[in-house]
Amino acid sequence: MTSDRQPGTAHDRLEHHARHRPDAVALTCLDGDRVRKLTFRQLSVLVASAGEGLLAAGARPGDRVVMVLPNDESFVAVLLAAMARGIVPVPAATPATTRSEAFGRRLRGIAADCLPALVVTTAPWRDAVRTALGGLDAPGGVRTWPDLAEEGATGLPPYAPAPDAPAFLQYTSGSTGSPKGAVISHRALHAACTQAARVYDEGPDDVAVTWVPLHHDMGLVTGVLRPLFSGYTSVLMPPEAFARRPAAWPAAVTAHGGTLSSAPDFAYALCARKVTDQELAALDLRTWRVARSAGEVVRAATAERFTARFAAAGFSPRSLCPSYGMAEATLTVTTSTPGGPPVRLAVRTDALGEGRVVPAAPGEPATVLLSSGTPLPGTEVRVRDTSTGRADGPRVGDIAVRGPQLFSGYWPEAHRPAGWHATGDRGFTHGGHLFVIGRTDDVLVHHGRNFYPADVLAACEDVPGLRPGRCAAFSLGDGDSGSRICLVAELADGPGTPPAAQVAAQARRRLASAVDLYVSEVVLLPRGGLPVTTSGKVRVGETRRRLLRGTLPRL
């Protein structure tokens, strides 16, 4: 077996568990009322069949295979089968989680970039995938699951990948420009899983619960790869189940005794708003010891609302673990750890707008920020103030990171120089903790002050008629003092939504009072009108471009 020659890969860990704990549950797949469980031995057999199918379809070591697969055993089997044979798996978004136009554009972009040998999907999605690919047909065509796993044996020997060979390509969420494929090596993946096992004290008795799409780095790492490395059960939910009913997430944690579960900030906020008293009464969240929040700027208000709402269900504020990471870091750079509540810091709002970090005295206008934790073992974080060139210190600056879990570069070059990686995010360090403010490209500068997307989102959170988490503010002018500020937001579509003019006026007043930002124009869109990344973050720059081109769907 491969694991006898090259220890440490994801497939090697599966084979280890299949030999030593064959009847332990590796996967629990939820699909409505149906629950499917696979032991490590059963998953190993399924992976072997999928590997033979990939080879029979013509894929060879070094080839790329694009995966358009759901959150279930098909995704896990194809992923691990490819890794075991030296084939490079490329997770991609599905038609079920992405609007059709965005799905087609993104899939074509990925295929054009990585030139896959074949694409694997399900029978219900086959036509949508073929349509999306257009003329970019892979040599091996579009294969469907489970037919792929039934194509027969090839007799080719196992493949032992080198530590620095690509384990998979993780395409970035695409907040700007075309998606880029971060090359994650087996060495980086092993480092990332080892770091997480240490800081979260992961072990065989843990249970992960994941609704985040597996094509996203958060879903992939926390829902598949880390459970395999530490040998615990992963409970996989369809993302649509959470979208339809947010209470399905904590309900799954309750039903399966979940101990580890991760999601972006918006998911915690949505649960705090949408879970009813009746749904709350049925929950028992005492087992949930690591509730990781990452994928977007973590907000103190969200943490307070979630912990207050779910305290009655046994959720401990000490379990919330705000984190910071990215695809290029195999998910995590910094994290809070269970056992202590997340660190909050109140800073003067006026100073923060000028890029300075000044703790607020009692009675001063303050912005409360939530720490994203401290660096993982072996990881370093540096914040450089671009105006002075100084590293670290009491100013907001550009975040750079380095560590063993970093990617090898972007496909196809994949030759990232050893050392620091500029993340494109802004923030500051204080007391060893990292506080992330937002994307560098999304910061709005007006009259010499900085306004961050998280502040705009927080200010608009309680405006009646606005869809929470779906707004963006930017300048419509070329200069600073003469520019006009525009707010673009999605209008809620529920009953009792106020008239659009009233919503716009309230949004202006709220931004002026909360963050001292005076908006010249408010553009309201229907639900789903804003361009977002695959992880649900609003694409601020793309929103501005579409507004200027006149391609946003106005009410």
- Which domain CATH number covers 545? 3.30.300.30
CATH number of the domain at 28, please. 3.40.50.12780
What secondary structure letter does DSSP report for 554?
-
Same domain, 11 and 156: yes
Same domain, 17 and 85: yes
Burial of residue 479 (number of CB atoms within 10 Å: 0-12, 13-18, 19+): exposed
pLDDT of residue 152: 64
Same domain, 352 and 382: yes
- Whether residue 519 lies inside any domain: the answer is yes
- Whether residue 251 lies inside any domain: the answer is yes
- Whether residue 36 lies inside any domain: the answer is yes
Same domain, 437 and 459: no
Same domain, 436 and 476: no
Q: What's CA 399's distance to the chain center, in Å?
A: 18
pLDDT of residue 475: 86
Same domain, 82 and 178: yes
Q: What is the mean pLDDT of the chain?
A: 90
117 in Cβ contact with 64 (< 8 Å): yes
Q: Pick the last residue of a domain from 410, 441, 472.
A: 441
Same domain, 432 and 501: no
Same domain, 395 and 426: yes
Q: Pick the last residue of a domain from 209, 235, 268.
A: 209
Same domain, 253 and 187: no
Separation between Cα atoms, residue 179 and residue 170, nearest integer Å: 10
The 10s digit of each residue's pLDDT in 386-433 is 666 665 567 899 999 999 999 999 999 877 667 899 999 999 999 999
Same domain, 416 and 506: no
pTM of the model: 0.88
Same domain, 22 and 127: yes
Residue 251 phi, psi (nearest 5): -65, -40
pLDDT of residue 456: 85
- Whether residue 234 lies inside any domain: the answer is no
- Reduce the DSSP state of residue 381 to 3 states and report it: strand
Backbone φ/ψ region at 528: left (φ over 0), alpha (ψ -120 to 50), beta: left
pLDDT of residue 422: 93
Domain total for the chain?
Answer: 3
Separation between Cα atoms, residue 325 and residue 295, nearest integer Å: 7
pLDDT of residue 469: 85
pLDDT of residue 156: 62
- Whether residue 229 lies inside any domain: the answer is no
Rounded to a whole number of angstroms, the distance between the first and last alpha carbons of the chain is 60
pLDDT of residue 508: 93
Torsion of CA 180, 186, 187, 188, to 10 degrees: 30
Same domain, 305 and 168: no
pLDDT of residue 7: 44
Angle 268-425-272 from CA coordinates, rounded to 5°:
10
- Whether residue 555 lies inside any domain: the answer is no
Flag residues of the chain having pLDDT under 70: 1-8, 152-158, 173-177, 386-393, 416-417, 477-482, 534-535
pLDDT of residue 393: 60
- Whether residue 231 lies inside any domain: the answer is no
Q: What is the number of H-type helices and E-type strands within the chain?
A: 17, 26
Q: Pick the last residue of a domain from 441, 459, 486.
A: 441
Determine the structural domain holding residue 41 and report its residue range: 7-209
- Whether residue 338 lies inside any domain: the answer is yes
